Structure 1
Amino acid sequence: MKAAKSNIMTLDQFKDKHYGEAGTQTRDVLEVGYESFKIGALIHEARIEKGLTQEQLAAKVGTTKSYISKIENNIKEVRLSTLKKIVELGLGGHLELSIKL
């Protein structure tokens, strides 16, 4: 009996196949979109860990539940100043950024 051929590929192999190699325009658009998605997912995860509702987080930051929802669901991009307020005032954390060249 023949062994079944594996169709399993790494995430990088999948991205290379469907979006082109790193540095191509299509791949760069994908990567930028992923970073925006990741910020919303991190905020959502931290909010849940702190036991806060979107409404409670919004009140601490001085914004609306709708705005927090849009950030968490990658519908709206968050400004750096607002991200800092969400992390520090709303979640009691510390925002760290880095630049890679």
Structure 2
Amino acid sequence: MSYEELQRDLRGNIQKVCRFLGKQLNSEQLGSTVKNVSFSVMKDNTMCNNVTVKNPEDETDFTLPLMRKGICGDWKNQFTVAQSEAFDKVYQDKMSSLDPSLFPWLEDC
């Protein structure tokens, strides 16, 4: 399951996870789950969207958000061409021995 698949059909993918886990949700539970795992709700939830990091200089803690925009493919606006090419090289080196069918989202690229 990829982020792109979740964006296309969140409710259907939650149902798929429930089937995999052998759990059944009633319509109220499913609706609540869909609402609470949506990007906007999770981004506003400090339990989901924050990581605490220790400043190495003075040992104080500070919090960083983990979520940015929730837009598929927005990484292309964040990486430089050189960073993207370096990532692609490492990715190819590490993943080339795996079956491409494990990565269906690559077909969207």
Instruction: Give the shorter-chain TM-score range.
Output: under 0.3
Report the TM-score, using the length of structure 2 for normalisation: 0.26
Q: Which structure's residues are more often strand, by fraction? A: 2
